[in-house]
Amino acid sequence: MTEPAPPRAERRRRTEQRVLDAARELFAERGFERTTIRAVAASAEVDPALVMQYFGNKRRLFAEAVRVAGPAGSAGSPEEAVEQLLATLGVKMRLPPASLAMLRSMLTHPEAAATARETLGRQVAQVGASLPGEDAPLRAALMTTILLGVTVGHQLLELDELREASPDALAAALRPALRALADPGA
């Protein structure tokens, strides 16, 4: 026999989760515009109307799908800031679908752009706080957008030269560039 049929509340939670997972995957793959409610529903093996019932409309479904826990980072020395950024990239070899979904749509979906600006802004502020020099905000912004570019090139555009490199090799090659920005005096 199969399992003893989960109670209603539990079933409901699981279905919603299945929809959310399907949405994340499709948003990450195709972006906001090319992802249809119907496709999400089909992928979650559910009726399109149910998706609406759960999330109200497509924009809210997207907002829910890209919500991600911001990693609690501590400001420290410039070297630590560099390693923290590189670690982010290390993790990014398996970037969570929620983040990929946000990145994929950030250039074409206004709300995704707002989320991206907010997320990146926080990272810039955090990195900037640990850098010396009066142009620390600018250098922090550059360090952050550098990682953005590498991530985009690697995860979304899938450039061969980056795909072929191991995460460690990538981090090792990038480290000197980030250090040069973190502490220009050294």
Partner DNA sequence: TCGTTGAGTCAACGCCTGTTGAGCGAAATG
Partner DNA sequence: CATTTCGCTCAACAGGCGTTGACTCAACGA
d(CA 177, CA 163): 19
Q: Are 88 and 81 in contact (CB under 8 A)?
A: no
Least separation, in Å, of the C-beta of 174 and its own copies?
A: 6
Q: Which entry of its own copies, DNA, none binds 50, CB below 5 to 8 A by partner kind? A: DNA
- Span between the terminal Cα atoms of the chain, in Å: 68
Least separation, in Å, of the C-beta of 117 and its own copies?
A: 6
Cα 139 to Cα 130, 172, 176: the distances in Å are 11, 20, 14
x/- string (CB under 8 A) for its own copies, residues 71-110? --------------------------------xxxxxx--
Does 154 sit near its own copies (CB under 8 A)?
yes
What's at 150, amino acid-wise?
V
Does 129 sit near its own copies (CB under 8 A)?
no
| 173 φ, ψ (degrees, to nearest 5) | -70, -30
The residues binding its own copies (CB under 8 A) are 30-34, 103-108, 113, 116-117, 120-121, 124, 135, 137-142, 144-150, 152-154, 156-162, 164-165, 169-170, 173-174, 176-181, 184
